[in-house]
Structure 1
Amino acid sequence: MSKKKILYVEDDETLGFLTADSLENQYEVAHFINGQSGFDAFCNDDFDLCILDVMLPDMDGFEIATQIRKRNQEIPIIFLSAKTMKEDRIKGLKLGADDYLVKPYSMEELTLKIEVFLNRSQKTSFKNNATYLIGSFEFDPTNYCVSKGKEMTNLTEREAALLKLFLDNKNTVLKREKILMELWGTDDYFVGRSLDVFISRLRKIFKDEPNIRIENIPRVGFKLLTE
């Protein structure tokens, strides 16, 4: 069985060498020391997961992630950074990253995160082509889109997974922790903030549909109400 291929962009050559060397026991690692070369590699090769430092020469990690998400909504992205500000972590998650680890990090934690996201990435390849009717909308989980007549709204992979989870459990309270573990494999506070962003996005899509609403259950979770 071939190894999963990881794009790793880190400009600290010592840290980069040590991390890449450790990961190469399990994965095929392509290590780059500046943002532009890392992004060029992404555009010209196939990877299973991306690990990005935030502060990079030529093109920072946030910009790389933004460009990656324009081309691929599914590939897991992990940020590594010495920047500890809450705003930086939230920004990274809002850009579509799967996690944000603060340096210094342990290799054991990084490896565990990689395994969680690679496994989740395989599981979220939906197993059937069934579409869902929700009010006057049609939801296609395979192609990550919601349509109403000729109007179509594209979703990210995780937004589609979240909506599918709600529809599979409609009119039922879903605990916040369950949603986070299902979609992210962790119930970390900062990932929870990212969930709130996705909930807000789904609410905007269905805001003109009177019989569809995502209800907040204080200190518990959420419930999709639909007739």
Structure 2
Amino acid sequence: MDKISVLLVEDEDVLAMIIAETLGKRGFEIKIARNGVEGWSKFNQLKPDICIIDVMMPRKDGISLLQDIRKVDEFIPVIFLTAKSQTEDVLKGFEAGADDYMKKPFSMEELILRLRSILRRKISAAITTPSPVGNSCQIGPYQFNHKKLELTFENSTIALSQREGDLLALLLQHKNSILDRSTALLKLWGDDNVFNARSMDVYISRLRKHFVRDDNVKILNIRNQGYKIMD
């Protein structure tokens, strides 16, 4: 079995070496980048299985790096490392697409447990990704193609991310009824914790923006229950 490849983007040399040495002894294959620019270059070269990224770095900060990564890969697991502890900083990380967040200092054993837990959830989510609602379906005046990840309105086409397409397909499977929040989180994120719930809210907001051309198409937030798409 191939080793799990980890891209560690950390500008503190001592901490980077400790993490690399510890994970290396546990069977992970580690590559280190010293700043966000180098991290972006190595991400594209190496195509790792998971990333560990420090938030505060020279040249390109961790959140900017993750935003770039999410443009090309919606699903690679990412753990943020940071000395910051304010709630708003945690939320910024998850809104950017982080899967987990660890505050310095932390134990190496906890980091390893979180790495393995995230990887298990990602495998589970991949297995339970909803099937397409068909090659193409109608939502009001919009045409949605799950396979192509396209949403078409008149003569214009919106390219959807994989996560947006999967979430829209799941909503349409429950069209005019309520999609339970926990059900959606378990199927698409693999865990219904509060951080994944925050991430799903971000994707719901993105989908709503795609439907602004027709007021009849709505994604409703049903308090304490979930979401409902209507056209």
Q: TM-score range by the shorter chain?
A: 0.7 to 0.9
The CA distance in 2 between the partners of 1:57 and 1:126, in whole Å, is 42
The CA distance in 2 between the partners of 1:101 and 1:210, in whole Å, is 41
Aligned CA distance change for structure 1 residues 36 and 185 (closer, same or farther; 3 Å): same
Aligned CA distance change for structure 1 residues 75 and 168 (closer, same or farther; 3 Å): same
2:188 matched residue in structure 1: 183
1:169 matched residue in structure 2: 174
Q: Given the alignment of the two structures, is residue 149 of structure 1 paired with residue 172 of structure 2, yes or no?
A: no
Aligned CA distance change for structure 1 residues 18 and 92 (closer, same or farther; 3 Å): same
Structure 1 unaligned regions, length at least 5: none
1:51 matched residue in structure 2: 52
The CA RMSD measured in Å over matched residues stands at 2.7
2:144 matched residue in structure 1: 139
Q: Given the alignment of the two structures, is residue 35 of structure 1 paired with residue 39 of structure 2, yes or no?
A: no
Structure 2 unaligned regions, length at least 5: none
CA positional deviation for 1:144:
2.9
What are the Cα deviations for residues 10-43 of structure 1, in whole angstroms up to 9, with x where unaligned? 2233432333334333432212232222221112
- Using structure 1 for the length normalisation, give the TM-score: 0.83
Aligned CA distance change for structure 1 residues 73 and 42 (closer, same or farther; 3 Å): same
The CA distance in 1 between the partners of 2:143 and 2:15, in whole Å, is 48
Corresponding residue SS for 1:78 = strand
Contact 1:76–1:118 (CA under 8 A) maintained in structure 2: no
1:81 matched residue in structure 2: 82
The CA distance in 2 between the partners of 1:39 and 1:177, in whole Å, is 33
Q: Given the alignment of the two structures, is residue 109 of structure 1 paired with residue 121 of structure 2, yes or no?
A: no
How many positions carry a matched residue from both structures? 226
Range that drifts further, 15-24 or 153-162: 15-24
CA positional deviation for 1:163:
0.9
2:9 matched residue in structure 1: 9
Q: Given the alignment of the two structures, is residue 225 of structure 1 paired with residue 230 of structure 2, yes or no?
A: yes
What is the identity percentage for the equivalent residue pairs of Structure 1 and Structure 2? Answer: 36
Q: Given the alignment of the two structures, is residue 67 of structure 1 paired with residue 68 of structure 2, yes or no?
A: yes
What are the Cα deviations for residues 140-190 of structure 1, in whole angstroms up to 9, with x where unaligned? 333433122321222233222211111122222122222222222233333
Contact 2:130–2:170 (CA under 8 A) maintained in structure 1: no
CA positional deviation for 1:212:
2.6
Contact 2:54–2:82 (CA under 8 A) maintained in structure 1: yes
The CA distance in 2 between the partners of 1:178 and 1:84, in whole Å, is 30
CA positional deviation for 1:86:
1.7
CA positional deviation for 1:88:
1.3
Amino acid at match of 1:201: R
The CA distance in 1 between the partners of 2:31 and 2:132, in whole Å, is 31
The CA distance in 1 between the partners of 2:194 and 2:164, in whole Å, is 18
1:21 matched residue in structure 2: 21
CA positional deviation for 1:211:
4.2
Contact 1:89–1:190 (CA under 8 A) maintained in structure 2: no
Contact 2:181–2:227 (CA under 8 A) maintained in structure 1: yes
- Using structure 2 for the length normalisation, give the TM-score: 0.82
CA positional deviation for 1:112:
1.0
